[in-house]
Amino acid sequence: DTGVSQNPRHKITKRGQNVTFRCDPISEHNRLYWYRQTLGQGPEFLTYFQNEAQLEKSRLLSDRFSAERPKGSFSTLEIQRTEQGDSAMYLCASSFAGNQPQHFGDGTRLSIL
């Protein structure tokens, strides 16, 4: 069990640019989740996958956000045309099954200049 791995740890970009984050879950976990955490707040759910299927998307996930998990292993989260309000920590988690404890990565901190 090597844990959930997220890359990069930090991303600084100019407003209007596109960014992509990667998450590698724990290998035997078939559920993968994305959350966003802003300063002083708890994480907010964005979306989740069971294997390669994206089963739920939060209203927080605007049209500029897209997530994929093409082979049911790693996942990517892309933000197009970034805005100041996208500055946050993006956390990935995985679990063995639904409603089982989720294991979190260390996150990708996005800063928009």
Partner 1 sequence: AQSVTQLDSQVPVFEEAPVELRCNYSSSVSVYLFWYVQYPNQGLQLLLKYLSGSTLVKGINGFEAEFNKSQTSFHLRKPSVHISDTAEYFCAVSERGGADGLTFGKGTHLIIQP
* Positions in the binding site for partner 1 (CB under 8 A): 4, 6, 31, 33, 35, 40-45, 47-48, 55-56, 58, 91, 93, 98-99, 101-107, 109
Q: Which is nearer to partner 1, 14 or 59 (CB)?
A: 59
Q: For the CB of residue 57, give the shortest distance to partner 1 in the complex, in Å.
A: 10
Q: Which is nearer to partner 1, 6 or 82 (CB)?
A: 6
Q: Which is nearer to partner 1, 85 or 101 (CB)?
A: 101
Q: For the CB of residue 88, give the shortest distance to partner 1 in the complex, in Å.
A: 14
Q: Which is nearer to partner 1, 31 or 86 (CB)?
A: 31
Detail the DSSP E strand segments found in 14-87: 19-24, 31-37, 44-50, 53-57, 65-68, 75-79
Rg of the chain, C-alpha, whole Å? 13
Among candidates 66, 82, 86, 70, which has minimal Cα distance to 17? Answer: 82
Rounded to whole angstroms, the Cα distance separating 71 from 81 reads: 26
Rounded to whole angstroms, the Cα distance separating 100 from 19 reads: 30
Q: For the CB of residue 16, give the shortest distance to partner 1 in the complex, in Å.
A: 27
Amino acid present at 111? S
